[in-house]
Amino acid sequence: MGKKEKYNVVVVGAMGMVGTEMIKTLERRNFPVNEFRPLDIAANEGKEVKFKGRAYKVLEAASVNFKGIDIAIFSAGGDASAKLAPEAVKQGAVVVDNSSHWRMDPECPLVVPEVNPEDLYWHKGIIANPNCSTIQMLVAMKPLHDYAKIKRIVVSTYQAVSGSGKLAYDGLVDESKEYLETFKPVKPKAYKTQQIAFNCLPHIDVFQEGGYTKEEYKMVNETHKMLDKNIKVNATCVRVPVWYGHSESINIETEKKITRDKAMELLREAPGIKVVDDVDNEIYPTPLMSNEDDLTMVGRIREDLTIEKGLSLWIVSNNIRKGAALNAVEVAETLIKRNIV
């Protein structure tokens, strides 16, 4: 459609946790917005959201409300994306979708701008935002893979409840208050069968073949689609009683040895990464550090004691920011920068 100075933008799911952060991110990064249009479910029509100091009335997420839009950023769930994303494209918009619906569609690029921005060139109207846990892992893996070619990744995640949405977030609040009054097990409010307060649940999304969860398979499949189909990936995904910020313990085996010093150098020079690794002063990434940070933090970098060409790392990133809203906005920024929107 040719490069413009400003773009007409909608956020679909504008009232949700990620949608709210998407709006804040557009404002914080001074995205070149001409017309801003917040969309959500019909029940929220007429409610207001703030953008750049102005109140905007929420409109229903319906085909008619994509007319004249250049960029549509979705965080409305898979069913809504399946139905509405093609409608937005028909109206002339380019869609950046945060749901899982389009991620493994061979017709849709799955993109992290620090990892595979070149895939944006073959988009056909819809670009998928990867899973939050995959995004931060691959931001850190990309410079290491480019240097030494990763053969195998073993990852254990420690994922915040906000990754499950506001109900889980509020559930952790309520469970924590109740548990601290009695120090006895409480009725689960965030998840179905187990309390999450003061607990860890090795179960994210539904269980599938071989005893792995859908979340674990997402990390495998998305790594293959975005980085390298030959990397062997084994994931264990755990929900922990943290509100924001996913943490990951990662061990990799590479074709060429990477020393700790070289890894530090590569990561410091890579986009989107902050190295936080000063063990002498007990400084390393934590979820609380990610609350106001857009960067993926990497620390506890050390050479593997069991294999010659192995490396272990600890990675933390804010799952609502870089793991969702920020990555989607960065995809849109990259489309503009490369003149492919």
Sequence ranges of the domains in the chain: 7-131+324-337, 134-318
Collapsing DSSP to helix, strand or coil, 91 comes out as: coil
First to last CA, the chain: 7
Q: How far apart are CA 265 and CA 62, in angstroms?
A: 48
Say if CB 222 and CB 130 are below 8 A apart.
yes
Q: Name, in order, each residue with C-beta under 8 angstroms of 9's C-beta and a sequence gap of 6 or more.
A: 26, 31, 33, 34, 35, 36, 37, 69, 70, 71, 72, 73, 332
Whether domain 134-318 has CATH 3.30.360.10: the reply is yes
Among 47, 48, 125, which residue's Cα sits nearest to residue 92? 125
Look at residue 341 in the predicted model and tell me its pLDDT.
87
Q: Tell me phi and psi for residue 12, to 5 degrees.
A: -95, 125
Look at residue 1 in the predicted model and tell me its pLDDT.
46
Look at residue 151 in the predicted model and tell me its pLDDT.
98
Considering only CA atoms, give the Rg of the chain: 20
The half-sphere exposure of 313 on its side-chain side, counting CA atoms within 13 A, is 30
How buried is 193 (Cβ within 10 angstroms: 0-12 exposed, 13-18 middle, 19+ buried)? Answer: exposed
Among 277, 275, 245, which residue's Cα sits nearest to residue 157? 245
Look at residue 2 in the predicted model and tell me its pLDDT.
55
Domains 7-131+324-337 and 134-318 belong to one CATH topology:
no
Q: How far apart are CA 64 and CA 40, in angstroms?
A: 13
pTM over 0.85: yes
Which tokens sit at 168? 């889980």
In terms of CATH, what superfamily is 7-131+324-337? NAD(P)-binding Rossmann-like Domain (3.40.50.720)
Q: Name, in order, each residue with C-beta under 8 angstroms of 284's C-beta and a sequence gap of 6 or more.
A: 276, 277, 278, 299, 300, 314
Which tokens sit at 332? 């849109």
Residues serving a catalytic function are: 132, 246
Q: How far apart are CA 176 and CA 287, in angstroms?
A: 18
Q: How far apart are CA 219 and CA 217, in angstroms?
A: 5
For every one of its 341 residues, what pLDDT tens digit does the chain have, with 9 covering 90 and above? 457 899 999 999 999 999 999 999 999 999 999 999 999 999 999 999 999 999 999 999 999 999 999 999 999 999 999 999 999 999 999 999 999 999 999 999 999 999 999 999 999 999 999 999 999 999 999 999 999 999 999 999 999 999 999 999 999 999 999 999 999 999 999 999 999 999 999 999 999 999 999 999 999 999 999 999 999 999 999 999 999 999 999 999 999 999 999 999 999 999 999 999 999 999 999 999 999 889 999 999 999 999 999 999 999 999 999 999 999 999 999 999 999 98
Place of tokens 């493994």: 104
